[in-house]
Amino acid sequence: MALHRLTALALTGVLALGASGCGGDSPSPTPGTSSAAASPTPTSSGPAAPVLPKAAITKTANGAEAFTKYWFALVTYAMRSGDTKDLRRSAAPECRGCNALIGSVSRVYADGHHISGGGWLVEEIARDTRVVMPYERFAVSVQQPRSEFVDEHGKVLSRGHRERFVLAFSVLWRNGRWLAYESVLTK
């Protein structure tokens, strides 16, 4: 997916990452792979920021998977709140798709607009066993619920459709922690 298309998708709440990086074949999720943790629980004042699970701070395949689930919860949180601080901290500086996504969300909220609904619900994750440390790569099957792009006056500017897509998502172990490294839309 081309990065220039990312901004258009962000405006409808369908924030699909697109970047190049490590390359290689992308795995497809298969039945029996793990599903992601639930998205953050909203509070009366808005959505709650997800907490990095202890499992996500280990340099293991399980740690990388736990971090991946956390990352997608951060994406949903950012889309629903406009707060991209933890998302930015959890991405490698060279992750172009991550930076494009963060920039798109930031611009939506900077203009006084917001995204109603939306978020990324991880349905399945499958590890690509051909990738070796310091990287891990997963095929992540994501559901994007219907969403609305709303201006500062509450007027709906556009509607995003419910969609499903699969991302080849890579993480990198750097300086004692996992970072989002690359994401490529595969289907």
CATH number at residue 72: 3.10.450.50
**Residue 168 domain-assigned?**
yes
**Residue 29 domain-assigned?**
no
pLDDT per position as a tens digit, 109-126: 998 999 998 889 999 999
**Residue 125 domain-assigned?**
yes
Strands (E), the chain: 42-43, 46-47, 114-117, 121-127, 135-144, 147-150, 156-160, 163-174, 177-185
- Structure-block tokens of residue 139: 């095929």
What value does the mean pLDDT take over residues 73-95?
A: 96
Q: Band of the pLDDT at 87, cuts 50, 70, 90?
A: very high
**Residue 98 domain-assigned?**
yes
**Residue 95 domain-assigned?**
yes
What total number of domains does the chain contain?
1
Q: Order of strands, edge to edge, in the sheet holding 156-160?
A: 114-117, 147-150, 156-160
| Residues 75 and 102 sit within 8 Å (Cβ to Cβ) | no
Identify the weakest region by mean pLDDT among 20-29, 57-66, 143-152: 20-29
Q: What range defines the domain where residue 87 resides?
A: 3-22+34-41+57-185
| Distance of alpha carbon 125 from alpha carbon 112, whole angstroms | 34
What pLDDT is recorded for position 133? 84
**Residue 52 domain-assigned?**
no
Model confidence, pTM: 0.78
pLDDT per position as a tens digit, 126-168: 999 998 889 999 999 999 999 998 999 999 999 988 999 999 9
Percent of the chain's residues with pLDDT above 90: 63
Average pLDDT, the chain: 80
**Residue 24 reports pLDDT greater than 60:** no
User: Who has greater pLDDT, 4 or 167?
Assistant: 167
